[in-house]
């Protein structure tokens, strides 16, 4: 059932977050996140597009990179977004379905939706700087750029991605397939980072909250939600998540000092 209010979307997100990896529904999670961010919009057209995509995937069951690309980009008309990179619509599934365009991890949700329905061996790759897709093939993995119309990324392309983020090469771990939960978190990370950079505190806090639901044991996620809550004046929440971060790997003396400052603000 599609949530209709922010409260319903929060409940749906909590259900998604509670699921084990083999039952985690990335599409349902991304829809709940989009509705949680902006519940006051008509989602009927987006759902029609999703239904059409679902029907085609179930009927065609594309397995190869070419077949996936032809369905998603050729027939359904999805493409890399031409909007401002920082536009939050690029990482919002409802906006992506309406515009049939988005940035890499947002389009990656579309690819994973089709891949799950067709049992294609395709997963996301949490590549630094530029999200990729990985399709397992008999000759080894094929890396796909969802932003570039499903173009295959060769060794030179992988090197260029590494150079853009200031490293010599992408490690094996950087090119490993990741879970759908990791993709969901990265989608919200994009939104949180953009909202924070543009000073949209409430939007930052909402995205940070969604990340915290999905990855409560991640130090950086807990710290970011605490910082967003503090910026929004929600000191009780800021302290709660600062204390949670203190139990996770990565906690520093600076974090400890900040936690003490938050306690003092409540006194």
Residue 190: per-residue pLDDT = 93
Q: Is 157 helix (H, G, I), strand (E, B) or coil?
A: helix
Residue 92: per-residue pLDDT = 96
Residue 266: per-residue pLDDT = 85
Tokens of 168: 């010599």
CB within 8 Å of 162: residues ≥ 6 apart: 168, 169, 170
Average pLDDT for 129-135:
95
Q: Does residue 117 carry a pLDDT above 90?
A: yes
Q: How many whole angstroms separate alpha carbon 219 and alpha carbon 73? A: 37
CB count in 10 Å sphere of residue 148? 15
Residue 38: per-residue pLDDT = 96
Q: Model confidence at 67, in pLDDT bands (50, 70, 90)?
A: very high
Q: What pTM was estimated for this model as a whole?
A: 0.94
If we measure between CA atoms, which residue out of 56, 41, 35 comes closest to residue 110? 56
Q: Does residue 252 carry a pLDDT above 80?
A: yes
> What is the tens place of the pLDDT at every residue in 140-195?
999 999 999 999 999 999 999 999 999 999 999 999 999 999 999 999 999 999 99
CB distance 173 to 19 below 8 Å = no
Average pLDDT for 108-125:
98
Residue 86: per-residue pLDDT = 81
Q: How many whole angstroms separate alpha carbon 80 and alpha carbon 83? A: 9
Residue 255: per-residue pLDDT = 87
Please state, for a pLDDT cut of 70, what percent of the chain lies above it: 100
> What is the tens place of the pLDDT at every residue in 210-231?
999 999 999 999 999 999 999 9
> What is the tens place of the pLDDT at every residue in 75-101?
999 999 877 778 899 999 999 999 999
Residue 158: per-residue pLDDT = 96
Residue 95: per-residue pLDDT = 96
Q: How many whole angstroms separate alpha carbon 51 and alpha carbon 128? A: 32
Q: Does residue 1 carry a pLDDT above 90?
A: no
Q: How many whole angstroms separate alpha carbon 169 and alpha carbon 152? A: 18
What's the mean pLDDT when you consider all of the chain?
95
- Domain coordinates in residue numbering, the chain: 6-180, 216-266
């Amino acid at each position: 059932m599609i949530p209709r209010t922010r409260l319903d979307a929060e409940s749906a997100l909590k259900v998604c977050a509670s699921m084990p990896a083999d039952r985690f529904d990335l599409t349902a999670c991304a829809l709940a996140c989009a509705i949680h961010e902006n519940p006051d919009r008509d989602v009927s057209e987006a759902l029609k597009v999703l239904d059409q995509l679902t029907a085609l995937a179930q009927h065609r069951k594309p397995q190869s990179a070419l077949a996936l690309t032809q369905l998603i980009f050729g027939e359904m008309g999805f493409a890399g977004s031409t909007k401002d990179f920082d536009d939050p619509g690029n990482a919002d599934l409802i906006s992506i379905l309406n515009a049939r365009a988005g940035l890499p991890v947002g389009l990656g949700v579309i690819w994973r939706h089709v891949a799950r329905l067709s049992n294609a061996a395709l997963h996301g790759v949490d590549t630094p700087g530029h999200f990729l897709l990985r399709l397992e093939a008999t000759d080894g993995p094929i890396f796909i750029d969802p932003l570039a119309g499903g173009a295959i990324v060769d060794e030179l392309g992988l090197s260029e991605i590494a150079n853009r983020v200031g490293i010599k090469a992408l490690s094996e771990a950087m090119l490993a397939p990741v879970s759908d939960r990791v993709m969901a978190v990265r989608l919200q990370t994009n939104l949180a980072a953009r909202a924070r950079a543009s000073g949209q505190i409430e939007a930052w806090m909402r995205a940070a909250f969604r990340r915290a639901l999905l990855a409560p044991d991640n130090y950086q996620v807990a710290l970011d939600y605490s910082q967003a809550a503090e910026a929004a004046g929600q000191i009780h929440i800021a302290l709660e998540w600062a204390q949670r971060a203190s139990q996770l790997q990565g906690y520093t003396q600076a974090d400890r000092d900040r936690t003490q400052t938050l306690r003092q603000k409540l006194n």
